[in-house]
Structure 1
Amino acid sequence: MKRLDIFGALKKDMDVIEKELYRSIEGDDQQLTETSLHLLKAGGKRLRPVFVLMGGKFGNYDIDKLKYIAVPLELIHSASLVHDDVIDDADMRRGKPTVKSKWDNRIAMYTGDYIYGKALTLTTNLNNPEIHRILSKAMVEMSIGEMEQIRDFFNCNQDVRRYLLRIRRKTSMLIAVSCQLGAMAAEADRVVSSSMYRFGYNVGMAFQIQDDLLDLCGTEKQIGKPPGSDMRQGNITLPVIYALQEPELGQRLLKEIERIHALNGQCDVSEAVGMIRSSTGIARSEVLADRYIRKAIDALDSLPDIKTKKQLKDIAHFVTKRSY
């Protein structure tokens, strides 16, 4: 299923969001504007703005109001990616050089901070304190999730529960509040905004698991970076955790991860990737992602039976079937 097959009905308003994204990062400092533009031009799925707009369909839909939620959420996500690339020492993202690799770490960090600031500036156009509280909490949780990931680099003793808590904070919450705040900004019923939050939370969990699977099973052309990049950085993801649980293979994989750690990830990781691909870790991760998708679809049951409801189901199914 192609992106436009799902989001085609929102194309006109997504064009508005795209223009607002570019307009929002313009400022007095030419270099910060340039580095921010470089990031936006690399593209992206724009999943968070889409969820904001779809949440708005269950209330008083107004693109001129919803854009003050959709654009900041995409900017917050983008800023976190700039910081991620510094932490991960990543040279490529979405098949293009990262801000960090094209300029340097310092400029990348300030670019991320600048984009965060621009996001918060835009939200001042909304006078609902609850929206600001929810958004602020999500940003705090994201930061905690990032710190947890750093602390767990090359930690092969972590369990599935620890991994799930980390991706809840790092990825899922921002997708959940995108769905929730779209409904809230459109003054939808509280039952609707709560259901949208649950939908987004479960889709977000499945989305991150699928991302972790693609990092191991995808091609460089599909994912815009070499397969096994997470392994090089020491990010122990769900398929790896499952593979480490296998008695014989787990011991061999552990030794390989220890070798990668000793070399600071500056080595070939294809042997470790091959081990994980041959393990049950891939299939077990897919099963868990599918379970989250079923929960996401169940969360839609209480929503009004409008066209958007079916589109949300289509997106949910797309998340675990995507190859990028």
Structure 2
Amino acid sequence: MEKMKLKMIYSDLKPDIEIIENELEKALYSTSHVLNDASLHLLRAGGKRIRPLFVLMSAKFGHYNIDRMKYAAVPLELIHMGSLVHDDVIDHSDMRRGRPTVRSQWNNRVAMHTGNFIFGRAIQYVSQIKDPKAHQILARTMVEICNGEVIQIEDKFRLNQNLKDYFRRIKRKTALLIESSCEVGAVVANVDPAVTMRLKRFGYYVGMSYQIVDDVLDFVSTDKQLGKPAGSDLLQGNITLPILLMKDHPKIIQFIERASKGIVTEEERLEMLQIVRNSDSIQEALKVSDQYLAKAMKEVEQLPEHPTKKKLRDIALFIGKRKF
């Protein structure tokens, strides 16, 4: 049902999204059988293709041409995919979207090379864009994502972090890539600079909301819905907003100590989930997400009149209220 809602929002862009999908498959082809299989394994695991969607929607406010826009949309998704492969190595994750991760199916070395290969393909696609500003945006984005990955390692199981640490981390982890999707789409389509800035800010606010909701869903969804054990973030040492809002709870402190040693039992995981689900932290975290969403809506309201305005509003609401 949720996926159907998303498809309805961008139904008029379906032919262009299919072009992007075909281009992604072409981009991930390698003469190395291992790299080819590992990359396509990740692609065929699916995904909402949110980033290419934001590229195309932002471009609608300028000179839209799918043959040009694909060189902006494809690398944004490739950067996202490459970062997922690296994340799974950092987090020792065995499952993603209900399927074995690249590191689980092969090994950490293959996963790291696969992520690097995907990043390399992203750079190749970007090179087809003539505007140097688009190159600068994507280069900065990739640098910040890599910084964010290392910071995430440093922050693992660290209970003395604060909200500023968390927001800075999720900006690099998620919001920056959605912000860049909106900005690059606008830049390549020659959108008015003032409108481009509004789209960029919209992308940032939506990205922050998106990641907070994602962090909440990790606790409130079932294992089946997530395609991995609920509470995986905390098991792997990632201290997200719901936990930061209740980090002084003695049971949570004890759980994190045991998780850091890798000795958490299934019974303890289920108990932790109940404690978090029954706390106020879930609703408090969603309130923060809603605040970012409200800021995103203000940016949309001030965009020029265009049919895409409603679609941006709809997709932002979908992201902020999604259940998967």
State if a TM-score over 0.5 links the two structures: yes
Which of 11, 14, 18 is the matching residue for 1:11? 14
For each residue in 1:264-302, what CA deviation from the matched residue of structure 2 results, as whole angstroms up to 9, or x when unmatched? 667542222221111111010000000000000101132
Q: Which residue of 2 aligns with 1:316?
A: 316
Q: TM-score, with normalisation over the residues of structure 2?
A: 0.96
In 1: Cα distance, 2:192 partner to 2:225 partner: 40
In 1: Cα distance, 2:181 partner to 2:257 partner: 38
Q: Which residue of 2 aligns with 1:61?
A: 64
- TM-superposed deviation, 1:138: 0.8
For each residue in 1:19-66, what CA deviation from the matched residue of structure 2 results, as whole angstroms up to 9, or x when unmatched? 000011112222211110110000001000000000110000000111
In 1: Cα distance, 2:276 partner to 2:20 partner: 39
In 1: Cα distance, 2:149 partner to 2:112 partner: 14
For each residue in 1:119-178, what CA deviation from the matched residue of structure 2 results, as whole angstroms up to 9, or x when unmatched? 100111011111101111011111111111111111111111110011011110010010
In 2: Cα distance, 1:254 partner to 1:278 partner: 17
Q: Which residue of 1 aligns with 2:254?
A: 255
1:161 aligns with 2:164: yes
Do the aligned partners of 1:233 and 1:265 also contact (CA within 8 Å) in 2?
no
Q: TM-score, with normalisation over the residues of structure 1?
A: 0.96
Do the aligned partners of 1:260 and 1:266 also contact (CA within 8 Å) in 2?
no
Q: Which residue of 1 aligns with 2:102?
A: 99
In 2: Cα distance, 1:264 partner to 1:89 partner: 15
Q: Which residue of 1 aligns with 2:298?
A: 298
Q: Which letter does structure 1 place at the counterpart of 2:274?
A: G
Q: Which residue of 1 aligns with 2:73?
A: 70
Q: Which letter does structure 1 place at the counterpart of 2:282?
A: I
Give unmatched runs, 5+ long, in structure 2.
none
Q: Which letter does structure 2 place at the counterpart of 1:273?
A: L
TM-aligned CA distance change 1:217 to 1:183, over 3 Å: same
For each residue in 1:44-101, what CA deviation from the matched residue of structure 2 results, as whole angstroms up to 9, or x when unmatched? 0100000000011000000011100100010010001011111111111011111111
In 2: Cα distance, 1:52 partner to 1:114 partner: 22
% identical aligned pairs: 47
What do you get for the CA RMSD once the two structures are aligned?
Answer: 1.2
Matched residue count:
320
Do the aligned partners of 2:29 and 2:36 also contact (CA within 8 Å) in 1?
yes
Give unmatched runs, 5+ long, in structure 1.
none
1:288 aligns with 2:288: yes
Which of 175, 178, 182 is the matching residue for 1:175? 178
TM-aligned CA distance change 1:266 to 1:119, over 3 Å: farther
The runs of at least 4 consecutive aligned structure 1 residues that moved more than 3 Å come to 264-268
